Chain A
Amino acid sequence: MTAQASPPVGPRRSDYPGLGLLRGLLLSEYFVLYLTIAYFAVASFFFPALLEPRNISNQLSNIWPLLAVAIGQTFVIIIAGIDLSLGATMGIASVAGAVVMTSAADKLLLGGSPLWGWALTEQGGVLANHPAALPVAIAAILGTGLVIGLVNGVFIARFKLPPFMMTLVTSMLFAAMAIWLTQSQNIVNLPDSFTNLGNGDIVSVYFGEKLTPEIKRRDILPFVTYPMLISLALAFAAHLLLSRTVFGRQVYAVGNNSRAAQISGVPVRRTILLVFVIAGFCAAVAAILYAARLEAGRPTIGAGSALLDIIGAVVIGGTSLAGGKGKISWTVVGVVFFVLLSNTLNYMRLSAFHIDVVKGLIILAAALLDVLRTRLARMRG
């Protein structure tokens, strides 16, 4: 036996304690939560205004609708899909609801709409000032979301269209339809019962000295609001669905390995279909929250960089684009981080374009982080 050196063995990873800590942090489920806290601490040092109650109240109200729609996207990304139509769904769903319940419409603005004269007149929508307007409008919004989700789901599950392609098409289709129906106008004059959903508060706080007997309404800051309850309830329900039910396990199984799932008796097609229906429903809930806050049905609610926020928040939370891995709690953290990020970027007086550039880069970083974490986990495993 000739003495021959065996291949050189590199230094073991555990030889560097600092690296080990970094690895542990990177691999931690709540890495983004720690990052968010650290970022908030640093940012509030530079921009103390971030900590002002008015700002916090404002940012909270930005969080809830985004959370609702991001929950839907989380389901889709867990099955290794993507839903690009959620923005358009929000737009057209808000229009559908607003058209039902608006109490007056301007002929000058909306006279060109194909709805004008039968579904929409100067006296408003079909159910203008009717007591059933609110429930029917909400049903219309949710129904629109469900139908779009169903269309996406059927084509993707049944005809095996790539989710990217299918939802890109429905996104274009419904965004264009929303604009056509409204001639690009907002549908305003919504009943108070609806707008209260967005503005109505449960716990509000007045900060400051009581100098005058009357406190102005706008100085009372809402913290616990209807949108908060609605979004958190949706998040909680989604969390239970994903983590505690047969359906939830099946969603992860499809994302992890759909062939193995099928052979193990998972109804793969039904699971995919339901996931897209859930996504449409979540987008519709978000549409209610946005429309109530804006006091209008707006065809372009989800246009522009909204889609970036919806996907970005989920991916930053840690849900893997490769499928099979993700949690609602991660998405909650991702949404908070994303809203906080936009907030600080605003304080930096960046233009909307610059903000999008930064957001894009952050999503890129998040996607890279996902790859890195997968690789680190594999090395450890």
Chain B
Amino acid sequence: MTDTVLSIRDVGKNFFGVTVLSNVSLDVGRGRVLGLVGQNGAGKSTLMNIVGGNLRSDTGSMEIDGAPYSPASAREAEHRGVAFIHQELNLFSNLSIAENIFISAMPRGPGGLVDRRELRRRTASLLAEVELDLSPDTLVERLSPGERQLVEVTKALQLDANIVIFDEPTTSLTPRETTKLFALIRRLREAGKAVIYISHILADIENLADDVAVLRDGRLVEFGVRADLPAARMINLMLGRDIDQLYPPHKSVAEPAVLLEARALSLRGVIKDVSFSLQRGEVLGFFGLMGAGRTELARILFGLDRFDQGELRINGQPMRNHSAEGAIRAGMAFITENRREEGLMMNASIAENIALASLTELSNLAGVIDGRTLVERAGDFATKLQIKSGAIGATPARSLSGGNQQKVVIAKWLMSRPVIFLLDEPTRGIDVAAKYEIYSIINDLAASGSSVIFISSEIEEVMAMADRILVMRQGEISGEFTRDQFRKEGILRAAFGEQEKVA
């Protein structure tokens, strides 16, 4: 690898005193694809955010084509030829494909007005390049996830980037779209671009990459040509230890009593014929791809959306057209997948956040709440979950780290004394140590007789935590696995559908 485009030297980063990246050195070569692998929280995204200009490194340096490179913003990174295609796509769904692609470089005509004809013409030729058969005027909101991914790639092509970073690009793609994307990546390589490809799907890495870098706990543990690194070795390097250490030991405490029962729940176009029961003390995993209907199901169970057909019983009590208040009264708690939008009042204090679902219990008959009692009671739960913060009555939720924010959300629900917990991707975006704490909390909940519905897209996590796994696909339950039947391949096959070949 002589022709280095991007070189990373001793880059490190700390968040809130936690080292997420330390002394990482890497070279990315012209016309090569670098596969970047590692557990969630290993530092892949942090590293790429530093390269992409979204974060600044605390230590170390970078070079592009031998010239120093330390981007202060994503814009500066773009100017230096770095395109970052994010997992969560950065497209404006209310604008057209053409407007999205040229958002920062609209072709101008006379008088500085946007030259719409030129815009359309250039977009059309770019779309032809990625073999996307769509009109440049199509609004992005009408596109499938895969098409959006390709539009994002087209945007990178327009920038004429030399370094293109893909972060988990295939999570929401159909097999056909994936094939299309891979063909495109190979063409980028042939055109002499440097590609960094982040993925959990090791088969894809084996398929695409020329070089492989493995990160673990913020350190680079291996960097070499792909031929030297078969998938089995990658896994060993990624884990670096027994899987048991990532997760607290599993102990099944399920009792026969059924707390929640769904029978043929359907909502047209969203979920179909979903039937399952949840036992006391059970941790029931829900696995599936993005958009498989798991979050939608949770919202329906919690009364945020209605269902057309079917039956739902909680504690034997039939629920229909219930509201979130009704679900809470029936003993449910819902920890949503996006803390920022649905979980927390970011500008309110930790105490106010924790008390939010228990206001009625905290008040007297006249609806009066004593502020001091509120802070004290919330404090009990903050202590119990070891939330690391300043005074909980004065510290706003936004000042906390992701892991502590998630603990605030959990504390809020613990305070309302539920018996059924709906957890939707509860460990997303939080560090390894905090994850372990959350897993322990889940086990404690089950041990104390609560039931947990645990939605996750991380197969290792579900397998380690759940007593039973239900797999969803296109709004339906496509597989059920008891703990003795847990096999990665079978679960993934159920999630992708039978015809799909999986790792």
Contacts and interface: CB of A to CB of B under 8 A. Distances in A.
Interface of A: 1-2, 4, 6-7, 243-250, 252-253, 256-257, 259-267, 324-325, 377-378, 381
Contacts of A256: 345-348
A257 B346 contact: yes
A250 B356 CA distance: 8
B359 A246 contact: yes
27 contacts: A1-B9, A4-B60, A6-B58, A245-B369, A246-B359, A248-B369, A249-B369, A252-B348, A252-B352, A253-B348, A253-B356, A257-B346, A260-B341, A261-B345, A261-B356, A262-B324, A263-B304, A263-B324, A264-B356, A264-B357, A265-B325, A265-B327, A265-B328, A267-B325, A324-B348, A325-B347, A381-B398
Given A1-B10, A4-B9, A245-B363, A260 B343 contact: yes
Interface in B346-396: 346-348, 352, 355-357, 359-360, 362-363, 366-371, 395-396
A7 B56 contact: yes
Nearest to A255: B345
B391 to A, nearest CB: 13
Most buried by B among A244, A249, A260: A260
Contacts of B399: 381
A381 B369 contact: no
Given A253-B345, A260-B344, A266-B325, 8 more contacts: A4-B61, A7-B56, A246-B368, A264-B328, A264-B356, A266-B359, A324-B347, A324-B348
A242 to B, nearest CB: 11
Nearest to B57: A7
B356 A246 contact: no
B6 to A, nearest CB: 16
A261 B355 CA distance: 11
Given A246-B360, A257-B346, A263 B369 contact: no
Contacts of B197: none
B155 interface: no
Contacts of A257: 341-342, 344-346
Nearest to B390: A381
Contacts of A324: 345, 347-348
Q: Is chain A's binding surface mostly helix, strand, loop or mixed?
A: helix
B70 interface: yes
Given A6-B58, A253-B345, A266 B363 contact: no
Chain B CB within 10 Å — which of A1, A249, A253, A262 has the most? A249
A253 B345 CA distance: 7
Interface in B281-323: 302, 304, 323
Contact of B367 (A1, A247, A381): A247
Contacts of B325: 265-267
B59 interface: yes
A250 B369 CA distance: 12
A259 B328 contact: no
B412 interface: yes
B336 interface: yes
A312 to B, nearest CB: 23
A265 B325 CA distance: 4
B334 interface: yes
Contact of A260 (B56, B345, B370, B416): B345
Interface string B7-26: 00110000000000000000
Contact of A250 (B304, B324, B359): B359
A246 B367 contact: yes
A75 B360 CA distance: 21
B53 to A, nearest CB: 13
A243 B367 CA distance: 11
Contacts of B396: 377, 381
Contacts of A266: 325, 356, 359
B224 to A, nearest CB: 21
Contacts of B336: 263
A6 B343 CA distance: 37
A300 to B, nearest CB: 39
Nearest 4 pairs of A and B residues by beta carbon: A256-B345, A381-B399, A4-B61, A265-B328
Nearest to B341: A259
B420 to A, nearest CB: 14
A245 B368 contact: yes
Contacts of B70: 7
Contacts of A253: 345, 348, 352, 356
A264 B363 CA distance: 16
Contacts of B368: 244-246
Contacts of B370: 244
Interface string B117-145: 00000000000000000000000000000
Contacts of B346: 256-257
A325 B348 CA distance: 9
Interface string B53-87: 00011111100000000100000000000000000
B302 A263 contact: yes
Nearest to B72: A7
Nearest to A267: B325
A378 B345 CA distance: 14
A6 B59 CA distance: 6
Contacts of A377: 396
